[in-house]
A and B are shown apart, each in its own frame.
Chain A
Amino acid sequence: EAQVTQNPRYLITVTGKKLTVTCSQNMNHEYMSWYRQDPGLGLRQIYYSMNVEVTDKGDVPEGYKVSRKEKRNFPLILESPSPNQTSLYFCASENAGELFFGEGSRLTVL
């Protein structure tokens, strides 16, 4: 089944404790991206990647890192999480302009 898989789906952590949210897609898509969704603000792009070893900042990249060592994986790294990074995070891959989203990762930073 074609899908985008994110892990973990839910996470509660504390300020400053590094964490990684993994994202994997099995559709051989070149383009992948990360969004965060916050009430009243909609979806905002954090980072995106056009292909392996190519990553670029989106609209809200501060406090996040990404890597794209393989086509299928695009992990989101929070080196030192802060409470303002509490949010619902979505990974997506793209084909012919259409985005395919993962089920989301709800992150709470205390």
Chain B
Amino acid sequence: SQQGEEDPQALSIQEGENATMNCSYKTSINNLQWYRQNSGRGLVHLILIRSNEREKHSGRLRVTLDTSKKSSSLLITASRAADTASYFCATDDTDKLIFGTGTRLQVFP
């Protein structure tokens, strides 16, 4: 089954810097979502972008989608220590979401 692959696997930045995470997937999608997971906790939905959208914003988050390249990026601007978490992309498949293995983001104060 298709799976999103996040890149990089881990990212360390200073507070105030921007963080960019990328996701590539294998087959056609209807939508792509990004989720956040604090260590050992449940995932929390961040944003959903549909296949006919190219960019979407939510607060300090900006998501882009390039269906021709089968890739998406999540940009967190002006990062904060509280943004430290793992971030997962998820693509829709019949009756389920397929998650990637995630990017671990560490934001240092």
Contact = CB atoms under 8 A, between A and B. Distances in A.
Same assembly: yes
Interface of A: 4, 33, 35, 40-43, 45, 48, 50, 56, 58-59, 88, 90, 92, 97-104, 106
Nearest to A88: B40
Interface residues of B, number: 22
Contacts of A97: 31, 33, 48, 92
Contacts, number: 50
B45 A45 contact: no
B45 A100 contact: yes
**A interface majority secondary structure:** strand
Q: In this complex, which of B33, B88, B96 has the most chain A Cβ atoms within 10 angstroms of its Cβ? A: B96
A50 B94 CA distance: 12
5 contacts: A48-B96, A59-B1, A92-B43, A99-B45, A100-B45
